[in-house]
A and B are shown apart, each in its own frame.
Chain A
Amino acid sequence: MGITRKKAAIGLTSAMAAMLLLSACGSNGGNNGNTAANNNTSSSGNAGGNNAAEPVELNWYTIGTPQKDVDKVMEAVSAYTKDKIGATVKMTMIDWGDYNQKMQVLTASGADMDIMFTAAWAFDYVQNARKGAFAPIDDLLTQYGKGITDTLNPAFLSGSKVDGKNYGVPANKELPVSEVWRFNKNILDQNKLSITDVRSLESLEPLLKTVKQNNPDVTPLQVDKNFTPYIPYDYLIEKFPLAVKLGDTGYKIVNVFETPEMKQALETMHKYYQAGYIPTEAATLESSSDVQATGKWFADKATTQPFADNVWSTSYGYPIVSTPMSDALIYNSSVMGSMQAISANSKHKEKAMEFLNLLNTDPVLRNMVDSGIEGTHYKKTDGDYMENLPESKNYDMPTFALGNIMITYLNPGDPADKWEQFKKYNDAGKPAALLGFNFDPTKVSSEIAAVQNAKESFWAPLMTGTVDPDKYLPQAIKKLNDAGLGKILTEAQTQLDAWKATQAK
């Protein structure tokens, strides 16, 4: 026994020694690789010779389904940017569903990144700014980003400050958010219904009733588990029950479940559910895409932008019309809808900002990044119009996620004054209550984790009208309070009051 144990020990040690050797070799190999790569870039830079300094390579991480031709397009982009600003670009795309998690790991492990996509809904901008993932860009903006500050509506930059500093360049796009009721126009016309009087949830009832009677195979009000009825409150954190009432000058934070507006909305939803206007399994339905494909729905709730009806009609293949249920307001989530940040670990922060400046002001670069290589992926028609070529299937990018959309070329069918309309829409937007205030949850993070769990257990059933609010709303409120919602509310109110004092408005 003794001998075998000794042998085992020896075996293990030698294996460990071998392992150490291996890892040493591994890291050496890596270093060699790096130096080789550096030599390469520098030599090619010298060969190019247009720029005095060696071009630096910018690592750009962005969201979207990885496209086959990314490297090919980035080569063309690099050739262009090398002359303009002395930098080349390498883009890494990470798919929608993976972006959050992969970026969290990449930043936490200190990976070599320069520019990265961030937003209120993906790789959370505010939280990661606070965690130290992004470099503050205020000085960089004044020095290298003049083009950006000139083109952007000022609300974008002032609204996306975190603790007084900017950490990301927002894309110039639609600014205010307005919720609308969308209608399947075929069914609307078939029943000779009018949407002119529709605005509140309650005002939908007669229409839903008619559709339910005349089209038994159609879902009158399409609702899935992500649905929340509109109430005139500005939420502190998205899908979290704390909010401030719009127009409340006292800035009092409340639990939305305790507001009369929410109670009424939930009661109406439950009434609709019992009347069979809402899908039976709405509370567990991941998305509405199935029913949108078949066209067997009548109304639903959506977020709009200029010409949204056209976009929806084209993508569904049948006509859609919409009517607003709320005013167009600028929320935190709308100014942070799509941003590019510079990594705190980046070695080329200035170049990264120069690149972002060019991306947001130079139509040649912006359209190359967006649509690919002219003649390969797209062709230009008259004026600012373009048309996709068959190759564009290998380079199909999410336009809104790659910077200023108002210098991109127009698609066939777009009105010539499309971007003018966007600007008008943006200028008309009014700020919502909490625009510019970002709650810092660090002190109450364990309460938030507990409240999240409490909230998730009844959020979708209540919001979709699946359960009776008279019975479940008191239970929900109690559960939230037990989990520590009160403590979060107090902390948030303290922060909000402090913020309000600095705003002096």
Chain B
Amino acid sequence: MKALGRFFKDINRNKALLLMVLPATVWFLLFSYLPMLGAVISFKEYRIHGGFLSSFIHSRWVGFDNFKFLFSTDDAYTITRNTLLYNIVFIFIGLVLAVAMAVILSEIANKKLAKWYQTGMFMPYFLSWVIVSYFVYSFLSFDRGVINKIALGLGMDPQQWYSEPKYWPFIIIVVFLWKSLGYNSVVYLAAIMGIDKSLYEAAMIDGANKWQQIRNVTLPMLTPLMTILTLLAIGRIFYADFGLFYQVPRDSGTLYSVTNVIDTYVYRGLKTTGEIGMSTAAGLYQSFVGFVLVITSNYIVRRFNKDNALF
């Protein structure tokens, strides 16, 4: 009874704060926690039988059968390798470039110009992959592409870009960075803006030059944010950006060895049969690996620096 009284008193005292977290809580419960129950479908052969709940209950258990298609061929190796390697490269190059850009932007004396650059870098983030794929196509098209036109002008042979796998790891990475860099650097730029100016003043009094200030003030202050964002990115390391790997290479079959990732594999495999159980299984597998990786890397971070860890 007493506990209940305390509980209501607590609510009353914190009602402003609680009200503020309410929308986010509701959102997470509805769209993140509630759907988690659906993961059970990955062990079932989903068949329609009345409404969703009764279909769910009546569908047959099939154990791990729904996971088989992910591992049954040597494509399993290709898609796992592609997904992991691309994401690792994205995380690290993305981090380095975003921080570098943020530092550069913060050091530009003319604030108006800085805003201008920032907006320019930010714009691609809002484009959908379909539009980006046409941008890329206008560069790489065989007979009308900019690059082949230049190559011809220089007396070189035009390339069939969409059937040459060897160029694509590079193209994919460049396109990804072009699209995401602006957004990520803004996050770091905001963090830099939040650094106490007196730290820089103290450094200047000690005679530190610009480079020393960046190395000894800016970067250490950014480390917690960098760690947290990287940890979060590692949690999604088994998810590939579908549009980047499907739309940008124009679904070209000859490029699959370097563009097929888990998400595109699942899409191609299930678009004819539409087995809900199998697509759920793929999603569960991705989140499970992501979960394990986050826990492990968080554990490692904790070993080095407890304050930088997520939890």
Contacts and interface: CB of A to CB of B under 8 A. Distances in A.
Contacts of B274: 100, 104, 124, 127
Interface in A196-254: 225, 237, 240
Interface of A: 7, 10-16, 18-19, 22, 100, 104, 107-110, 124, 127, 131-133, 225, 237, 240, 280-281, 283-284, 286, 344-345, 441-442, 445-450, 452-454, 456-461, 466-467, 482-484
B48 A283 contact: no
7 contacts: A16-B25, A132-B49, A345-B51, A448-B269, A449-B270, A466-B254, A482-B74
Contacts of A14: 7, 10-11, 18
Contact of B10 (A7, A16, A225, A456): A7
Give 7 closest A-B pairs by Cβ, nearest first. Answer: A449-B269, A110-B51, A446-B69, A449-B69, A132-B48, A446-B68, A284-B250
Given A104-B274, A108-B276, A280-B142, 18 more contacts: A10-B7, A14-B18, A15-B25, A15-B26, A19-B29, A100-B274, A109-B51, A131-B47, A132-B49, A240-B272, A445-B273, A446-B65, A448-B273, A449-B269, A450-B69, A452-B270, A452-B272, A457-B254
Interface residues of B, number: 53
B69 A11 contact: no
Contacts of B263: none
A441 B252 contact: no
A227 to B, nearest CB: 13
Contacts of A16: 25, 29
Nearest to A448: B273
B73 A482 contact: yes
B253 A460 contact: yes
Contacts of A237: 272
Interface in B215-268: 250-254, 256, 260, 265, 268
Nearest to A240: B272
A456 B268 contact: yes
A236 to B, nearest CB: 12
Given A7-B10, A345-B50, A22 B72 contact: no
B253 A453 contact: no
B92 interface: no
Contacts of B48: 107-108, 110, 131-133, 344-345
B295 to A, nearest CB: 20
B172 to A, nearest CB: 16
B164 interface: no
B105 to A, nearest CB: 36
Specify which of A13, A14, A284, A450 lies most central, judged by the most chain B CB atoms within 10 Å of its CB.
A284
B181 interface: no
A461 B142 contact: no
Nearest to B8: A14
Interface string B137-151: 000011100000000
A270 to B, nearest CB: 14
A108 B142 contact: no
A454 B72 CA distance: 12
A132 B47 contact: yes
A10 B46 CA distance: 38
Contacts of A283: 162-163, 252-254
Given A124-B274, A450-B73, A454-B73, A442 B45 contact: yes
Contact of A453 (B14, B21, B268, B275): B268
Contacts of B260: 453, 457
B263 to A, nearest CB: 12
Contacts of A109: 51-52
A451 to B, nearest CB: 9
A104 B269 CA distance: 16
B109 interface: no
A467 B254 contact: yes
Interface string B13-26: 01001100110011
A286 B256 CA distance: 17
Contacts of B26: 15, 19, 22
A19 B163 CA distance: 53
A458 B254 CA distance: 7
B55 interface: yes
A182 B174 CA distance: 42
B25 A457 contact: no
B17 A449 contact: no
Nearest to A108: B276
Contact of A110 (B50, B68, B73): B50
B275 A284 contact: no
Contacts of A454: 73, 75
